[in-house]
Chain A
């Protein structure tokens, strides 16, 4: 069984993450900014990255991924590129294991269903 994500989120893990932040009164924004990573010869953006969350009080971007460890390489590459191009941007990647730990910590027992679809 998989759990659907309520709008505006694209994944139920994102929705739960937002609810945890709300519970603690931490302001957040969902995908507020897209960072161009690559451009073609004409200057058109060919690759970009929009982190899932921005926490303005912490000046911190959060990217969540439920991909299996072997599949995270592409996401890691994007993050490295973002940090090269935007060294002042603080970003943290929560991988599948990190999310699982977080969900267990907050008593979310049906997290396997939430993580069935890739984020």
Chain B
């Protein structure tokens, strides 16, 4: 018997739903695209046992769904980096605060990102990974906000192009909230204190 699970967020009268002014990508659209990406990667990496690498925390939802859509042997691991502190409050430059447990040397690495925006974080992490001599290194991003790119990085697998909007859900947060929404949408302007 197939189990069914209904997210409490499916209740459109919930507080979280009321905070959303517009849904850009539904849960169904996201799931369908993730499955397509999984199929494509599975075909391209057959026999290569790729290592999927993500940076915490936003990627966990995408990584979970993507890995379950991968039909070949594969592994995953996570990194984490220090957070930017506004107004000169940053204690030094960005640094790794959680490193990989898996070895990258000689491995076929796919860097999975929930969203690529400026490309600054991605550029920093790819530079680190490249020094570890992977057999290959490609990027898979579910959402791509290309107009904001400051550092260009080739993206081999792309889910959706994202307009220049601040969005939440499916890993994307506002003050650490809303990550667990199963869809991606815009917050109501009053919640962002929009200027």
Contacts and interface: CB of A to CB of B under 8 A. Distances in A.
Nearest to B117: A105
A66 to B, nearest CB: 8
Interface residues of A, number: 33
Interface in A19-52: 19-26
Contacts of A24: 93-94, 120-121, 123-124
Given A100-B194, A112-B193, A25 B150 contact: no
B94 A58 contact: no
A85 interface: no
Contact of A104 (B83, B123, B147, B166): B166
B90 A23 contact: yes
B1 interface: no
Nearest to A24: B120
A60 B88 contact: no
Contacts of B152: 58
Contacts of B148: 94, 98, 101-102
Given A16-B87, A19-B90, 9 more contacts: A16-B86, A23-B90, A24-B120, A25-B124, A100-B166, A105-B166, A106-B86, A107-B85, A110-B86
